[in-house]
Amino acid sequence: MEMEIVEKITNGDRRAAAKLITLVENNFSQAQDILKKIYNYTGNALVIGITGPPGSGKSTVTDKITKILRGQGKTVGIIAIDPTSPFTGGALLGDRIRMQDLSLDKGVFIRSMSTRGHLGGLSQATQATVKILDALGKDVIFIETVGVGQSEVDIVKVADTVVLISMPGMGDDIQIIKAGIMEIGDIFVINKADKEGYERLATEIEMMLDLNQNKRWRPPVLKTIATDNVGIKELLKEINRHIEYLKESGELEQRRRESVKKEMFDLIQEQWKEILSTFIDNGFLNKIVTKIVKREEDPYTAVEKLSNILVHSYTKGGVKSDRKD
């Protein structure tokens, strides 16, 4: 069964890919056995991160670049990280709106990933999805994420090239937030550039970039009006120029190494979280918590003790990874 899915995906079977992504989201440890076999078929796609504050036009920019790439015969994967509502229970953005436009094209694979229900594992799930779309044969994979919040920034760090989108007139507060992720931008885009405040924002960004002198790559600051297709070709040109730079400078390999390290961190963390969860289920943790709430023990000492117990249970083979080998 596993080999069948692997074969299907590497032969471009979209439905098999979609199924595996769903498995990644719902039962990672089960998906992992298939992901191991897929890994050999990855590493060919270019991964581009698109990030920026809410409302800056990330989806529109991504869609417009995708259309140009399709015109050049390239296939595209889009992973949209969506904030979801607990009240509606699903992705509000993403798929549904976009489906109308791009999804009839078999050369484009769009997937929304919910930010809920992954615990800390959204990053892990996104990285696995990149691999699946890579194995599926997509030439370019976009990861679209709202550029606020540490976890969202972390997710986009796995990309080869990060495009940071902003827009004029968002006020000071949002600019400060943007500043927190400026260091990860390889290309800066000011979208909705016909709006008031463009000049000021462009100057601010250029000034911030001037302060950061130890980079061999000086991020360009581009101007787009994505809804009207203005500046999109130029953006794609700059993306290609950045990829060339990455390859020539050896930074592409360096980035991919960093990305592997990050993924290993994520995987180990998730593994330990899972082990921890089994302790919660059996009521053992509840007794400790009662002690802590009553101030009979402090949480730091409790964790030291618990951690020792966890390790012992692990060495006794209580963990999946032992059984699978």
Binding to its own copies (CB under 8 A): which residues in 220-249? Answer: none
Q: Give 196 or 325: the residue with its C-beta nearer to its own copies.
A: 325
**Residue length, the chain?**
325
149 interacts with its own copies by CB under 8 A: yes
Of 11, 39, 169, 244, the residue at the interface with its own copies (CB under 8 A) is: 39
Cα 78 to Cα 57: distance, rounded to the nearest angstrom: 15
Decide if residue 88 touches its own copies (CB under 8 A).
yes
> What are phi and psi for residue 185, nearest 5 degrees?
-80, 125
Part of the chain binding its own copies (CB under 8 A), chosen from 136-144, 187-195, 227-235, 281-289: 281-289
CA distance 300 to 100: 53
Contact 118, 25 (CB under 8 A): yes
Amino acid at 242: H
Mask for 107-146, x = binds its own copies (CB under 8 A): --------xx---x-x-----------------------x
Q: Specify the residue, 218 or 237, whose C-beta has the smaller distance to its own copies.
A: 218
Out of 11, 200, 228, 260, which residue is the one contacting its own copies (CB under 8 A)? 260
Of 97 and 99, the one with the shorter C-beta distance to its own copies is 97
**3-state helix/strand/coil string of 146-213:** ECCCHHHHHHHCCCCEEEEEECCCCHHHHHHHHHHHHHHCCEEEECCCCCCCHHHHHHHHHHHHHHCC
Report if residue 204 touches its own copies, rule: CB under 8 A. no
For position 197 contacting its own copies by CB under 8 A, the verdict is: no
Burial of 138 (0-12, 13-18, 19+ CB in 10 A): buried
CB of 324 to its own copies, least distance (A): 7
Which of 65, 93, 108, 235 lies at the binding interface for its own copies (CB under 8 A)?
93
